[in-house]
Chain A
Amino acid sequence: MESAVAYIGAKPRPSTWTGPIIDCDVHACVPSINALLKYQPPLWVETTRERAWKGPSTASIYPPNAETSVRSEWRPESGVAASDVSMLQKHILDVTRSEYAILNCYYAVESLRHPDWAAVLASSVNDWLIENWLEKDSRLRASIVIPGRDPLAAAREIDRVGSHPGFVQVLLPVRSERPYGHRYFWPMFEAMVRHDLVAGIHWGGQTDGAPSPTGWASWHAEEMAAETQVFASQMTSLILEGVFQKFPQLRVSMLEGGFTWLPTWGWNLNKKWKGLRREVPWVNRLPTEIIRDHIRFSAVPIDMGPPAHMRKIIEWLESDDMLMFATDYPHLHDDDMDDLLAVMPESMRTNVMSETARRWYRL
């Protein structure tokens, strides 16, 4: 019999893992703006046509023909990869036999500066996700897409669709106009808590400002490697601004941002807090304790090093309830999940493959 989990990377090969799987990051891609127009009021359909606007472009984040953007086996003969639920079923759900998969649709809504149009655009993506994905496969859950430049409009959108049982998360592109911990964003987090939704900070984001904290990269490779810094900056901001004191029920997922940097970043943050905590007195315990209570990380992509070193990093996490498996379909990553499982204690593997996500997303 074919193992249910023959592919816990994407290439078929035997896996050590035979238990349940929850995939915390798969992508749905909008095939074209035309797919969204039926969910928009006529005024905005007309505006789109008047301007012959083709919709936001995600090409600078995921260059369409780059191997990293779409694994070659998953590239359709025509059209956009991961743009239909049948592709996801064929390539991932029916292969990994995941109990659940969480859809993240990054559509660069924040690249549209028009505040009213951006809100309409985000709503139409969510309605498209409900009708074409969530209602088509009961294994799917999804993240709500928001107009990221306008936290009040984002909160309204969360309130509009937040009670739909298919939505378990709100997608926050990691690059934002300003750090997510700022009080400016709090109405948005308040809405997430109101609907018991996770804040999913995910690769991407096209607001103003350079993709790295130190300026514009010259190369795509540089941009990809440097994005870890942005994840770390967002995490630091959320902790030090006191978001988790203000919203003690808030859960945050860091998706597609790696995790190997977490232990050393945590040590640094703890050290700074011990000496400088008077400036941020609401942070009343060690940042690493706050992380363990409020933040989880997708395990893939893995910044995989030699096994002996990876074993130490897993140990340094000081928690077996921190990482969540993901395929990140349709992006290309190394099929090294088995290698990561091999350096973990047995007790951690079940958590990583399914149970941490099950608890985190209340599945």
Chain B
Amino acid sequence: MSSTAPNNDAKRYVVARKDEIAEGGRIIVKVEDREVGIYRLNGKFHAILNRCPHLNGPLCLGGVVSEVYSPMPGDIRGNPSKLFVTCPWHNWEFDVDTGQSYWSARGPRARLYPVEIEHGDEVTAELERGAVDRVPGPYKAEVVPVSLEADYVVLTMRAIPRS
């Protein structure tokens, strides 16, 4: 996958085993002091910074909703294939694929990160080369253990300069 090639200033992290996130589910991981929600929606993985671009609310603690639109009063339509996360503070909707807020293309966007699924042997090789880091899971102190047989969620994030 070409998108797995990290930029010079980006780092990649193994954040979870694929089967730790159920369809429709979400976990929050902490990577380099940033909280990121990892979602599995309609079979696809999404990584969204847990900070609403509006007023820094905990975006990933809100809901996931499908698109509702209407060409005319009385004609309400839903589009289950287009999904949004909603901030628990003001209920703004952000497109999980683009980060754009529903109400304005010019408005603030949610921060998204590339996320891929890689097989354990690939991840192991990358770990040995130092191409990826492991981060602690959300509910346990230890780092994500990697086994050759499983699939893993790998997040790409621009590295935060260390002080």
Q: Which of A's residues lie within 8 Å of B, judged by CB?
A: 183, 241-243, 245-246, 271, 273-278, 281-282, 284, 286
Contacts and interface: CB of A to CB of B under 8 A. Distances in A.
Interface in B65-87: 65, 68-77
Given A274-B90, A275-B91, A275-B92, A281 B70 contact: yes
Query: Which secondary structure dominates chain A's binding surface?
Result: helix
23 contacts: A183-B74, A241-B73, A242-B72, A242-B73, A245-B72, A245-B73, A246-B72, A271-B90, A273-B103, A274-B92, A275-B91, A275-B92, A276-B91, A277-B102, A277-B103, A281-B69, A281-B77, A282-B70, A282-B73, A282-B75, A284-B69, A284-B70, A286-B103
B93 interface: yes
Kindly name the residue among A183, A271, A277 whose own CB sees the greatest number of chain B CB atoms within 10 A: A277
B74 A275 contact: no
Interface in B111-133: none
Interface of B: 65, 68-77, 90-93, 102-104
Contacts of A273: 103
Contact of B65 (A242, A278, A286): A278
A199 to B, nearest CB: 17
Contacts of B90: 271, 274-275
Contacts of B74: 183
B50 to A, nearest CB: 19
Contacts of A241: 73
Query: Which secondary structure dominates chain B's binding surface?
Result: strand
A241 B73 CA distance: 7
Nearest to A275: B91
A328 B73 CA distance: 35
Contacts of A281: 68-70, 76-77
Kindly name the residue among A241, A281, A282 whose own CB sees the greatest number of chain B CB atoms within 10 A: A281
Nearest to B78: A281
B74 to A, nearest CB: 7
Given A273-B103, A286-B103, A278 B92 contact: no
Nearest to A277: B103
Kindly name the residue among A242, A282, A284 whose own CB sees the greatest number of chain B CB atoms within 10 A: A282
A39 to B, nearest CB: 37
Contacts of A282: 70-73, 75
Contacts of B104: 286
Contacts of B93: 278
Contacts of B92: 274-275
A273 to B, nearest CB: 7
For the complex of A and B, 5 pairs with smallest distance between CB atoms: A242-B73, A275-B91, A281-B70, A282-B70, A275-B90
Given A275-B90, A277-B102, 20 more contacts: A183-B74, A241-B73, A242-B73, A245-B70, A245-B73, A246-B72, A273-B103, A274-B92, A275-B91, A276-B91, A277-B103, A278-B68, A278-B93, A281-B76, A281-B77, A282-B71, A282-B75, A284-B69, A284-B70, A286-B103
A174 B103 CA distance: 31
Contacts of B102: 277
Contacts of A242: 70, 72-73
Contacts of B77: 281
A183 B103 contact: no
A275 B55 CA distance: 13
A245 B70 CA distance: 10
Given A273-B103, A274-B103, A275-B92, A183 B68 contact: no
